[in-house]
C-alpha cells in the first residue's frame, strides 16, 4: 500500500517486516502503549497502528530523517509501530529536531524489550499481590506496590502481574483491579491508637469489603490463581485477614523484616523451628488458652485473671530466643504454620470439649496472618484474639 504523506511516496513494506514489527511491539504503540487492534467506536478489530520508518525510507530531503546513513531501510529494526497521529507528529518537518533517530531508537528498544519481558511470563507463575496497609501504635512502614513487587520477584519464582484487560467486553474491563492487585487501606480508620472495639469493627468492614468485592470476585472468575499477602497492621486484624482468605487458593505470606526494613526473605539465616507445649494441664473445658511466644515472651503473670485457671497451650521457638525479627527465613514461617496446624488437630483429637480458644499472640506480622489461615472455622474452636493495650491483654476480636 502506497500512501501520500510528508510529500513523498512510500513503498509498501514487505509482509515479513510488517509482521515482525507488530509482534515485537505486542500490538501496542511504541510511544504511548495504546493497544492498536481495537476500535473504540465500532467495537471491531481494526488495525489502527501505522509502521513508521526511523531513518526515512528514502535518502531524499522530503523523507523524514532520510538523510541519515543507512543502507537497508525496510527492516524490522528501522520500523516502529505507532498511532497514526503520532506518526504524523514524529514525521512533521518542524519536529525533526525533537524526534531524532537516536530518540526513536530508544523508544523502540525500551518498548520492544518490555513487551518481550512481560509476555515471557507464563501465566501459572502469576501472583495477585494483596497489601493491607495499616498502623501499629501510630507507626507506619513502607509498603508500596514497588516494595511488594520486588519482594515477590527476589523471593521466588513468582511474578507479580499487574495485568490489564485485553478484552473489549465491558464486564472484564471492570475486573482490571481484581486481576493484578488488591489493596486494603486501614489508615483512614480512626482510633488505631486506642484500638477499641469500634476501631476493630470498622477495620474489619474495610477488610471484608476488599475481600468480598475484589479478591473473591477475581477468584470466582478464575482470575486469581495465587496470592501474595503483605500486611502491616494490628495483630488481631492480620489474623482476621488470614481467616478471610480462601484456603483453596495457594498463598504466600510475606514478613516485614526489621533488620533491613524490607519484605524480602533472607536466604542466609538458618530457619527456626517451633514446638508446642501444654503448660497448664487441667482437664479440658469449653475454654482454653493459647499463648504464642514467638516475637516476644508473655509471662503467665501477664494473663488476664479470668484466663488464669484454664487449660493452657504454648508455642515457642526451639533453640532460639523469641524475638521480633525471628521470621527472617520463609521456612521459619512454614515451621510455625505446621506446628500450629498440628496443635489444632491435637486439640480437636484430645480436647474436643474446647469450643473457644483465647489466643494471646506475641507474634510477627506474617505469623498472625498464618494463624488466621490455619484456623478452620468449621472444625476448630472459635478464636478470641487478644491485643496488648495499656500494658494489659484485652479481647480485640473473634474469629468464629
Binding region for Zn ion (CB under 5 A): 29, 31-32, 34, 83, 86
Closest contact distance (angstroms) between CB of 226 and Zn ion is 33
For Zn ion, the nearest residue by Cβ is 29
Smallest separation, CB 38 to Zn ion (Å): 13
For the CB of residue 156, give the shortest distance to Zn ion in the complex, in Å.
35
How many CA atoms within 13 Å lie on the side-chain side of 99?
24
Q: Which residue has the cell 524526534?
A: 99
User: Beta 8-9 vs 4-5: how paired, if at all?
Assistant: antiparallel
CB of 363 to Zn ion, least distance (A): 50
Q: How far is the CB of 90 from Zn ion (least distance, A)?
A: 10
Looking at beta carbons only, is 54 or 322 nearer to Zn ion? 54
Q: How far is the CB of 85 from Zn ion (least distance, A)?
A: 8
Q: Which is nearer to Zn ion, 21 or 385 (CB)?
A: 21
Looking at the Cβ atoms of 32 and 205, the one nearer to Zn ion is: 32
Is the CB of 81 or the CB of 272 nearer to Zn ion? 81
Q: How far is the CB of 29 from Zn ion (least distance, A)?
A: 3
8 A C-beta contact, residue 147 and residue 262: yes
Smaller CB distance to Zn ion: residue 111 or 256? 111
Name the minimum Å distance from CB 143 to Zn ion. 33
Output the 3-class SS for the chain: CCCEECCEECCCCCHHHHHHHHHHCCCECCCCCCECCECCCCCCECCCEEEEECCCCCCCCCCCCCCCCCCCCCCHHHEEEEEHHHHHHHHCHHHCCCCCHHHHHHHHHHHHHHHHHHHCCCHHHEEEEEEEECCECCECCCCCHHHHHHHHHHHCCCEECCCCCCCCCHHHHCCHHHHHEEEEECCCCCCCCCCCHHHHHHHHHHHHHHHHHHHHHHHHCCCCCCEEEEEECCHHHHHHHHHHCCCCCCEEECCCCCCCCCCCCCCCCCCCEEEEEEEECCCCCCEEEEEEECCCCCCHHHCCHHHCCCEEEEEEEECCCCCCCCCCCHHHHHHHHHHHHHHHHHHHHHCCCCCEEEEEEECCHHHHHHHHHHCCCCCCCEEEEEEEECCEEEEEEEEC
* CB closer to Zn ion out of 86 and 252: 86
Which of 169, 163, 179 is closest to 38 using CA atoms? 169
86 or 192: CB nearest Zn ion: 86
Please identify, using beta-carbon distances, which residue of 30 and 370 lies nearer to Zn ion: 30
Instruction: Return the C-alpha cell found at 316.
Output: 515457642
Contacts of 273 (CB under 8 A, 6+ apart): 317, 318, 319, 332, 335
**Measured from the CB of residue 83, what is the shortest distance to Zn ion in angstroms?**
3
In the complex with Zn ion, the residue whose CB is nearer, 109 or 259, is 109
**Whose Cβ is closer to Zn ion: residue 31's or residue 179's?**
31
Closest approach, Cβ 18 to Zn ion, in A, equals: 17
Amino acid at each position: 500500500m502506497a500512501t501520500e504523506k510528508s510529500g513523498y511516496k512510500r513503498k509498501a513494506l514487505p509482509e515479513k517486516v510488517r509482521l515482525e514489527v507488530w509482534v515485537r511491539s505486542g500490538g501496542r504503540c511504541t510511544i504511548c502503549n495504546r493497544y492498536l487492534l481495537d476500535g473504540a467506536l465500532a467495537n471491531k478489530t481494526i488495525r489502527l497502528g501505522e509502521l513508521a520508518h526511523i531513518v526515512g525510507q528514502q535518502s531524499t530531503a522530503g523523507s523524514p530523517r532520510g538523510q541519515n546513513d543507512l543502507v537497508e531501510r525496510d527492516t524490522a529494526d528501522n520500523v516502529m509501530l505507532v498511532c497514526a497521529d503520532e506518526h504524523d507528529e514524529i514525521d512533521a518537518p518542524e519536529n525533526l529536531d525533537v524526534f531524532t533517530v537516536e530518540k526513536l531508537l530508544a523508544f523502540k528498544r525500551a518498548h520492544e524489550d518490555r513487551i518481550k519481558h512481560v509476555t515471557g511470563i507464563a501465566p501459572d507463575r502469576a501472583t495477585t499481590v494483596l497489601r493491607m496497609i495499616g498502623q501499629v501504635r501510630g507507626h507506619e512502614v513502607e509498603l508500596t506496590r514497588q516494595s511488594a513487587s520486588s519482594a515477590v520477584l527476589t523471593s521466588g519464582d513468582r511474578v507479580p502481574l499487574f495485568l490489564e484487560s485485553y478484552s473489549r467486553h465491558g464486564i472484564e474491563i471492570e475486573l482490571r483491579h481484581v486481576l493484578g492487585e488488591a489493596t486494603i487501606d486501614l489508615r483512614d480508620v480512626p482510633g488505631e491508637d486506642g484500638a477499641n472495639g469500634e476501631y476493630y469493627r470498622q477495620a474489619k468492614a474495610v477488610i471484608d469489603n476488599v475481600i468480598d468485592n475484589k479478591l473473591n470476585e477475581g477468584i470466582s472468575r478464575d482470575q486469581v490463581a495465587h496470592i501474595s499477602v503483605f500486611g502491616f497492621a494490628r495483630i488481631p486484624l492480620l489474623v482476621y485477614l488470614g481467616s478471610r482468605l480462601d484456603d483453596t487458593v495457594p498463598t504466600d505470606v510475606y514478613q516485614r523484616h526489621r533488620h533491613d526494613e524490607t519484605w524480602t526473605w533472607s536466604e542466609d539465616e538458618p530457619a527456626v523451628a517451633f514446638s508446642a507445649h501444654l503448660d497448664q494441664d487441667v482437664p479440658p473445658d469449653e475454654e482454653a488458652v493459647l499463648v504464642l511466644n514467638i516475637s516476644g515472651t508473655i509471662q503467665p503473670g501477664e494473663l488476664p485473671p479470668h484466663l488464669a485457671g484454664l487449660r493452657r497451650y504454648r508455642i515457642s521457638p526451639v533453640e532460639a530466643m523469641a524475638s521480633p525479627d525471628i521470621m527472617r527465613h520463609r521456612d521459619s514461617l512454614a515451621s510455625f504454620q505446621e506446628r500450629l496446624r498440628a496443635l489444632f488437630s491435637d486439640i480437636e483429637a484430645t480436647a474436643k470439649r474446647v469450643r473457644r480458644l483465647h489466643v494471646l499472640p506475641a507474634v510477627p506480622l506474617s505469623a498472625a496472618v498464618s494463624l488466621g489461615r490455619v484456623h478452620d472455622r468449621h472444625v476448630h474452636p472459635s478464636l478470641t484474639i487478644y491485643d496488648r493495650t495499656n500494658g494489659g491483654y484485652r479481647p480485640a476480636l473473634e474469629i468464629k
